[in-house]
Chain A
């Protein structure tokens, strides 16, 4: 590929999944219209959803899911060693995601709850960056395919990979939605990173913060605002914990 005299190389890419639903990978395979052009940019090495080839020669590792078993840690470390660029792909990989709900009950209980009497080894859920260095994060539950396409194009062309720094409210207001606070609901849109085109709030579902905190958010003012409106404190906490994305702010708070 040659454009403007610059030579663009295909990305040698491999995808790995840990504890998750693999929904994010499916998102990619869903891209009917642009799929052929998209795969022109990729040299796929291990991508369970799409091809069955497996090689160990890749530059970019898409890591999906969170880490909850010790064998997963070893696998992740091996991936880090091989990959030039490690991408945390999806909310589970970036923040722990829905899986982290498990961390809120004692580990023994959760094993019993999920696996009954079977003895399974399980660790508290951790995000990828707790274990290895992450070069690029693509949050989203599931990831937004337009954003993934844009990031892939950026990687191929050597452009800077940028996520929006502003919160979901910008995109929500751009779609002329009614603010869910006006309808008496708690929405995390004003502290969550945009980029999803406000899909949830456009469908009248409050934002649960799957894309994690926006840049430099004013968390205390947000908490204060929700309290002043007299909305349910427990609902607020549940939403903040849903994807585990506001962990650092929550910890600061107490």
Chain B
């Protein structure tokens, strides 16, 4: 990693040059809510003036640039009794500007699951390789809890990361590409004062968190509280709408469907991001549903997010952005659910018996 500082006006020139030359997305205000707060999303940008550098957080995450909501996995073309399968890992270069530390941490977690597992996904890799990620730090929203999961800072997974130190941005340059582009612009070595400002900025961010979620030993609490009434309580509120998983930066599960073309000469195999909250997530042939109740399904979302699964065992995949909590119509959010579980656990601490020791 190489550190530089750049004046804000020079930074804008740099971003403008990038944006004009490449397909780029950055935070833009799309609406204002009833409380007159701005609503931001990652949207196409064509000049630096389109970008709201001082935005808070987007409602939807940036995962769909890497895992499209809908995506073609392969094509088949038929000739009588035979067919040909075509698979392509297509991705065009994209510049993403203004990702928050939690967004980038989420990408690192997706890398773990989708690239470092037993079967790395070329679809994801193609997109990841062709995306130029520029991160920016920010002051947390009152309900952000990424600090509880140590995701309020990130040190890998981006090309360039910018910290706002007042007049300048403090740049962490993490790729040769970013370094070469920046050579065309006026940057400086960080001075002693810049480093000091940077430390102060970090401290300010860290101290600005208003929400804390105690996630220590959550995996075992989730196991022990598997039959907890907490799930029925929150399950009763859940609409099974999948909104939480769609906006979440780390929910990656999907459904596959296959269709003949209308001329019947070919077929395509597509995937669609899905959610374990949706009613038919675990339905098998014959109609048996392994998770028939709202509470069962909601529990599994928490189980997967906070228990840590197969490819990333015992490592939580939630980064604490609280996007799910903000988007949920009925107010189901990780802080409330996890606190409830903890209370459950603490109120029945005495009756936990050791598991049978038999092998």
Contact = CB atoms under 8 A, between A and B. Distances in A.
Contacts of B31: 178, 182-183
Nearest to B278: A166
Nearest to A159: B260
B237 interface: yes
Given A8-B264, A153-B259, A222-B239, A165 B329 contact: no
Interface in B239-258: 239-243, 246-247
Contacts of B246: 169-170, 173-174
Contact of B263 (A37, A157, A217): A37
B71 to A, nearest CB: 11
A184 B32 CA distance: 11
A5 B263 CA distance: 16
26 contacts: A4-B78, A5-B80, A40-B263, A150-B259, A159-B260, A166-B240, A166-B275, A167-B239, A167-B241, A169-B242, A170-B246, A173-B246, A174-B273, A178-B33, A178-B59, A179-B59, A179-B329, A190-B241, A215-B280, A216-B279, A217-B240, A218-B237, A218-B238, A221-B236, A222-B239, A224-B330
Contacts of B278: 165-166, 170
B262 interface: yes
A218 B239 contact: yes
Given A174-B69, A174-B246, A221 B263 contact: no
B287 to A, nearest CB: 12
A158 to B, nearest CB: 11
B4 to A, nearest CB: 33
A41 B273 CA distance: 31
Interface residues of B, number: 42
A16 interface: no
A2 interface: yes
A124 B320 CA distance: 53
B239 A38 contact: no
Contacts of A1: 264
A8 to B, nearest CB: 7
A78 B280 CA distance: 36
Q: Which of A2, A156, A157, A218 has the most CB of B within 10 A?
A: A218
B239 A217 contact: yes
Given A173-B246, A174-B273, A216 B34 contact: no
A174 B247 contact: no
Interface of B: 30-31, 33-34, 39, 41-42, 59-60, 64, 69-70, 78, 80-81, 83, 236-243, 246-247, 259-264, 272-273, 275, 278-280, 294, 327, 329-330
A37 B266 CA distance: 13
Nearest to A225: B330
A221 B262 contact: no
B259 A216 contact: no
Interface on chain B toward A: helix, strand, loop, or mixed SS? loop
A169 B243 contact: yes
Given A165-B278, A166-B240, A173-B60, A184 B34 contact: yes
B240 A218 contact: yes
A153 B239 CA distance: 32
Nearest to B242: A170
A174 B264 contact: no
A38 B261 CA distance: 10
Contact of A169 (B34, B241, B273): B241
3 closest Cβ pairs, A-B complex: A173-B246, A174-B69, A169-B241
B239, B243, B246, B278 — most chain A CB neighbours (10 Å) = B239
Contacts of A166: 240-242, 275, 278-280
Interface in A18-40: 34, 37-38, 40
A181 interface: yes
A189 B260 CA distance: 29
Given A167-B239, A173-B247, A218-B238, A183 B78 contact: no
Contact of B78 (A3, A165, A215, A221): A3
A228 to B, nearest CB: 8
A37 B273 contact: no
A49 B81 CA distance: 37
A105 interface: no
A157 B264 CA distance: 9
A132 B335 CA distance: 50
Nearest to A219: B239
Nearest to B34: A184
A235 to B, nearest CB: 15
Nearest to A156: B264
Contacts of B236: 218, 221
A149 B262 CA distance: 7
A4 B264 contact: no
A153 B241 CA distance: 28
Contacts of A86: none
